[in-house]
Chain A
Amino acid sequence: MDGIDKKVSRRKDRIIDRIVFLALASTALFLGLLYPLIIGSSLLKESLLAIERFGVLGFILSDVWDPVRELFGGLPAIVGTIISTFIASAIAIPVCIGVAIFITELSPKPLKPVFTTAVELLGAIPSIIYGMWGFFVLSPVMAEKVEPFLQEMLMDVPVLWRLVDGVPTGIDVLTSSLVLSIMIIPFMATIVKDAFEMTPQLLKEAGYGMGATKWEVIKDVVIPYAFPGIVGGAILSVGRALGETMAVAFLTGNVHQIPKSLLDQFTTITVTIANEFTEADTDLYLSSLYFLALILFVMSFMLLVFSKFFIFKRLEKRWKVTGI
């Protein structure tokens, strides 16, 4: 009797085993396959109308955005997204490396967790707060102090004066990129710092043992070792800047023009969608907004997949060879 009972219970367990496996596998399948497919296909389906009307290249290369005449082109928003992301990353990346050096190599040991927590906490602030602060506090300061100052400084410099040509309003490329850069600093600094901390103490000590100065150890030991982490952090932050909406929603002016100077109003893909989605009164208008969303999706997804499957694979190999 006892043996039969045991057999029955083992059989029950085996059945539960199958069920648990199937349940877990289906959630993984949903998340890893179905979810991206749903996103891609529904964006594609919704943007078909605009694709048929303007064509893919026709939409991407046209800079007309005229809801009244129902002519839509994505160039200003795409260029705006790329420019603001580029400037923000150009500001943030060196700062993050500096912050990481400061936290890992310079700050006294008891203060390390304090700085680390501070940086992480600041990364937890919702992006709409950055946006609102930028709009009410930073933008007036930029318009009244910083931008006139820059104009005065660069007035007589050839070529560069064009960068700050125009009326300083504080609602422009410069302010938007600045707020974006502030927003991605904590995010990226955390990743870079973690990568720095992965460097084996032994390697660093070997450097010091050879008589290297602190900077030489950082430059020749820590940074090469942490390079994949730095690149990874940079790519993730670029991805975040690409898709950020609320931090810049108030600051671009949402004007569909390709900015010629840092003080021009402009727009990004996300800002266009956030501002115009609920106002889109025709199918073609809405479809064009979906097309923009699809372009953003492709841009950010490509960036990540590229980094994952190409850069990382390659760097990981190098990492394994050089890094013991």
Chain B
Amino acid sequence: MEGHRDLERSIKVRKVKSAFVLFLSFLTALYGIFWLFWILIDVFSKGFQYISPELILEDPAPPGEEGGGLRHAFVGHIIITSLATLMGVPIGIAAGVFFTEYGRFSRFAEFLRSMTDSLVSLPSIIVGTVVYAILVKPVGHFFGLSGSVALALLMLPVIAITTAQILKLVPDSLREAAYALGAFRWQVIKDVSLVAAKRGILTGVILGVARITGETAPLLFTSFNNNFTTYNVFEPMATLTVTIFIYALGPYEDWHRKAWAASLILTLGTLAFFILAKYVVSRKR
């Protein structure tokens, strides 16, 4: 009888312990959600008040004066990220295809893949300093295209690794069926592997673009900033992120308001990319 009661008590203790730890985990989840909601609510409430058509359609007013907009930053941001996407996506996909389709049994290719994988977490500011050294310094001044190159270098490893991983999921029996019909390797890649992995790769591309849209550090020393709207990629170019950085540190209340508005638009933009990626994944064929 004693033993039975002991057992019952120890079960009770274990159950209480379990409930306690699970409660703790609930609290940590609450803790995480608390911060993240606080940030989102602030960005939305502060940013929303200051959003206006002028923000997108007008050039900035001279420092210290009210009014004006951030057209220069929107234009620059779109140009720089699109050029970066144009450079980064094809090369990234090509490398990813190589890692999975050719390099599966080669140690050297595996080494290259591992290095690329490590590059995914390369601090973005380092890319900025390197592009400054190899592009900006020889040219002699900051220019928009160098910012695109920096961003492209940042997104390359991300896209290559996702592509390689997605292609791994394509069943080998599909490839073998094509080989059995006498197809060449490039035909198998083009007509079987890439077609089967299309949506996954698209998701990777969208996530890569979402990542570079929010980058600031690599642009500080490459595309830098410009107070006027320019379409010339060989001139310094403003971007939303760098503008937020400069405006938030600036002394004017009006600048802070614009920085909040720009932050909201930037957040909405990246979240939109993200939701788009989710949608692509979840869409039934």
- Say whether A associates with B: yes
Q: Is A197 an interface residue (CB 8 A)?
A: no
- What are 19 contact pairs spanning A and B, CB under 8 A? A25-B98, A25-B102, A28-B94, A28-B109, A29-B112, A30-B95, A31-B91, A31-B112, A36-B115, A42-B133, A121-B274, A124-B274, A125-B214, A126-B266, A129-B214, A137-B38, A243-B126, A250-B249, A305-B118
Q: Which of B95, B127, B215 contacts A28 (CB 8 A)?
A: B95
Closest-by-CB residue of B relative to A249 is: B245
The reply to whether A296 and B126 form a contact with Cβ atoms under 8 Å apart is yes
Chain A residues whose CB sits within 8 angstroms of the CB of B127 once the complex forms: 39
Chain B residues whose CB sits within 8 angstroms of the CB of A24 once the complex forms: 94-95, 97-98, 101-102
With contact pairs A28-B103, A133-B42, A278-B221 given, residues A216 and B18 touching in the complex (Cβ less than 8 Å): yes
Q: Which of A132, A243, A278 contacts B124 (CB 8 A)?
A: A243
Chain B residues whose CB sits within 8 angstroms of the CB of A27 once the complex forms: 91, 94-95, 98
3 closest residue pairs by CB, A with B: A243-B123, A126-B214, A98-B28
Chain B residues whose CB sits within 8 angstroms of the CB of A45 once the complex forms: 133
Closest-by-CB residue of B relative to A40 is: B130
Q: Is A231 an interface residue (CB 8 A)?
A: no
Chain A residues whose CB sits within 8 angstroms of the CB of B224 once the complex forms: 278
CB within 8 Å of A: which residues of B? 14-15, 17-18, 21-22, 24-29, 31-33, 35-36, 38-40, 42-43, 91-92, 94-95, 97-99, 101-103, 109, 111-119, 121-127, 129-130, 132-134, 153, 156-157, 160, 184-187, 189, 210, 213-217, 220-221, 224, 241, 244-245, 248-249, 256, 259-260, 263, 266-267, 270-271, 273-275, 278
With contact pairs A28-B99, A133-B43 given, residues A21 and B29 touching in the complex (Cβ less than 8 Å): no
Shortest distance between the CB of A283 and any CB in chain B (Å):
11
Shortest distance between the CB of B187 and any CB in chain A (Å):
7
Chain B residues whose CB sits within 8 angstroms of the CB of A125 once the complex forms: 39-40, 214, 267, 270-271
The reply to whether A132 and B244 form a contact with Cβ atoms under 8 Å apart is yes
The reply to whether B102 and A21 form a contact with Cβ atoms under 8 Å apart is yes
Q: Which of B122, B213, B216 contacts A243 (CB 8 A)?
A: B122
CB within 8 Å of B: which residues of A? 13-14, 16-17, 20-21, 23-25, 27-33, 35-36, 38-39, 42-43, 45-46, 94-95, 97-99, 101-103, 105-106, 115, 117-122, 124-133, 135-137, 182, 185-186, 189, 213-216, 218, 236, 239-240, 242-246, 249-250, 270, 273-274, 277-278, 289-290, 293, 296-297, 300-301, 304-305, 308-309
Closest-by-CB residue of A relative to B218 is: A245
Given the complex of chains A and B, what is the CA–CA distance between A43 and B126 in angstroms?
A: 9
With contact pairs A27-B94, A242-B123, A274-B217 given, residues A215 and B18 touching in the complex (Cβ less than 8 Å): yes
Chain A residues whose CB sits within 8 angstroms of the CB of B133 once the complex forms: 42-43, 45-46, 290
With contact pairs A243-B125, A245-B123 given, residues A17 and B186 touching in the complex (Cβ less than 8 Å): yes
Given the complex of chains A and B, what is the CA–CA distance between A136 and B32 in angstroms?
A: 20
Closest-by-CB residue of A relative to B244 is: A128
With contact pairs A43-B126, A215-B18 given, residues A120 and B274 touching in the complex (Cβ less than 8 Å): yes
Given the complex of chains A and B, what is the CA–CA distance between A129 and B39 in angstroms?
A: 9
The reply to whether B259 and A21 form a contact with Cβ atoms under 8 Å apart is no
Given the complex of chains A and B, what is the CA–CA distance between A277 and B88 in angstroms?
A: 26
With contact pairs A42-B133, A124-B271, A129-B43 given, residues A32 and B32 touching in the complex (Cβ less than 8 Å): no
Closest-by-CB residue of A relative to B109 is: A28
The reply to whether A297 and B32 form a contact with Cβ atoms under 8 Å apart is no
Closest-by-CB residue of A relative to B210 is: A124
Closest-by-CB residue of B relative to A115 is: B29
Chain B residues whose CB sits within 8 angstroms of the CB of A215 once the complex forms: 17-18, 21-22
The reply to whether B217 and A186 form a contact with Cβ atoms under 8 Å apart is no
Shortest distance between the CB of B81 and any CB in chain A (Å):
12
The reply to whether A214 and B216 form a contact with Cβ atoms under 8 Å apart is no
The reply to whether A304 and B134 form a contact with Cβ atoms under 8 Å apart is no
Shortest distance between the CB of A16 and any CB in chain B (Å):
6
Given the complex of chains A and B, what is the CA–CA distance between A132 and B271 in angstroms?
A: 18
The reply to whether A129 and B267 form a contact with Cβ atoms under 8 Å apart is yes
Closest-by-CB residue of A relative to B214 is: A126
Closest-by-CB residue of B relative to A122 is: B36
Chain A residues whose CB sits within 8 angstroms of the CB of B31 once the complex forms: 95, 98
Closest-by-CB residue of A relative to B186 is: A20
Shortest distance between the CB of A65 and any CB in chain B (Å):
18
Chain B residues whose CB sits within 8 angstroms of the CB of A20 once the complex forms: 185-186, 189
Chain B residues whose CB sits within 8 angstroms of the CB of A97 once the complex forms: 25, 28
With contact pairs A38-B130, A126-B241, A308-B118 given, residues A136 and B99 touching in the complex (Cβ less than 8 Å): no
